């Protein structure tokens, strides 16, 4: 019996692919997890739209207790729904690895994620992106320096940096992310960036400005992400950001 991971896409219940919907309707058991990403919809709406009862998975079910899920897939057709693309999260790739080691068939039905959509919403060239980092909530009042370190690494190779914002205990806003990174900044962030909100929805938004000015813009409700631009940008990236992200004219100073 297969264990199938189905990507739900970027926004709501309508973003599932036809192949994914077919897998859901043919499954014996359907699960969903919302800890690696979120949708602007509810579990009840997913159930009503897909015509299936769906059980919510917590993080431990796909980490410490993943063996139970794999064992269930030996006897039943199991589908795990994942916002975005299923294999963006290393947690899911680890489950796939363990399932295959145990001889359990695995299927992956891909979909759009922020990683693939960010180029389209910002006009930035996808091959210009470097490592991705997550801005996490402080742990014991300490702000992680990892995002700043990653930004520095990417700037050193003239690459853009996609910053994902923590989802737990609640989706982080751009305003709060800027506040956190200001606590550890050494001058690196005196640079241009793009804030994006609700990518994939009808009211998605992208705004380009200096990093610290992003907190002055109203991005509305999450989900939010930030892209810190490379040291230089291509003329077509500049033109797109001017047209669709209200970038200031001073951004032209980055054009190579």
100-137: pLDDT as tens digits: 999 999 999 999 999 999 999 999 999 999 999 999 99
Question: Mean of the pLDDT values across residues 203-227?
Answer: 98
Tokens of 253: 């100073």
**Confidence band of 1 (pLDDT split at 50, 70, 90):** confident
Question: Mean of the pLDDT values across residues 206-228?
Answer: 98
- Classify domain 115-254 at the CATH superfamily level: Tetrapyrrole methylase, C-terminal domain (3.30.950.10)
Please report the pLDDT score of residue 30 as a whole number.
98
**Average pLDDT of the residues of the chain:** 97
Q: What are the strands, taking DSSP E only, across 97-153? A: 105-109, 133-135
**Residues in the chain, total:** 256
* Span(s) in the chain for CATH 3.30.950.10: 115-254
Q: What percent of the chain stands above pLDDT 90? A: 97
- Classify domain 2-112 at the CATH superfamily level: Tetrapyrrole methylase, N-terminal domain (3.40.1010.10)
pLDDT higher than threshold 90 for residue 152: yes
Note whether 165 and 199 are within 8 A (CB): no
Question: Mean of the pLDDT values across residues 222-230?
Answer: 98
**β-pairing verdict for 29-33 and 78-82:** parallel
Q: Which of 71, 130, 84, 142 is nearest to 110 (CA)?
A: 84
**Confidence band of 244 (pLDDT split at 50, 70, 90):** very high
Strand order through the sheet with 161-165: 133-135, 161-165, 224-228, 192-197, 205-210
Lowest mean pLDDT across 55-64, 174-183, 218-227 = 55-64
DSSP string, 71-130: HHHHHS-EEEEESB-GGGSHHHHHHHHHHHHTT-EEEEE----HHHHHHHHH---GGGB-
pLDDT higher than threshold 90 for residue 89: no
Please report the pLDDT score of residue 157 as a whole number.
98
* Span(s) in the chain for CATH 3.40.1010.10: 2-112
Which residues participate in the annotated binding site for S-adenosyl-L-methionine?
A: 10, 85, 88, 113-114, 165, 199, 224
pLDDT higher than threshold 90 for residue 254: yes
Which residues participate in the annotated binding site?
A: 10, 85, 88, 113-114, 165, 199, 224
pLDDT in tens, 7-21: 999 999 999 999 999
């Amino acid at each position: 019996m297969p264990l199938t991971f189905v990507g739900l896409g970027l926004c709501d219940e309508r973003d599932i692919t036809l192949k994914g919907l077919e897998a859901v309707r043919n499954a014996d058991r359907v699960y969903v997890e919302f800890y690696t990403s979120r949708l602007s919809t509810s579990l009840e709406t997913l159930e009503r739209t897909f015509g299936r009862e769906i059980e919510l998975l917590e993080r431990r079910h796909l980490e410490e207790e993943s063996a139970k899920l794999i064992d269930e897939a030996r006897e039943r057709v199991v589908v795990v729904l994942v916002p975005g693309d299923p294999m963006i999260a290393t947690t899911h790739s680890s489950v796939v690895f363990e399932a295959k080691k145990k001889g359990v068939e695995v299927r992956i039905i891909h979909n759009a994620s922020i990683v693939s959509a960010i180029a389209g919403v910002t006009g930035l060239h996808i091959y210009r992106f470097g490592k991705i980092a997550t801005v996490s909530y402080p742990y014991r009042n300490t702000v992680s320096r990892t995002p700043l370190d990653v930004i520095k690494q990417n700037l050193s190779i003239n690459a853009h940096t996609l910053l994902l914002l923590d989802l737990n205990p609640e989706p982080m806003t751009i305003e709060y992310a800027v506040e956190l990174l200001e606590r550890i900044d050494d001058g690196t962030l005196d640079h241009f960036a793009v804030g994006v909100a609700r990518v994939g929805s009808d009211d998605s938004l992208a705004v380009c400005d200096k990093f610290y000015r992003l907190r002055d813009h109203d991005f509305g409700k999450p989900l939010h992400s930030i892209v810190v631009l490379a040291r230089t940008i291509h003329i077509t990236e500049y033109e797109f950001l001017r047209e669709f992200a209200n970038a200031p004219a001073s951004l032209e100073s980055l054009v190579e």
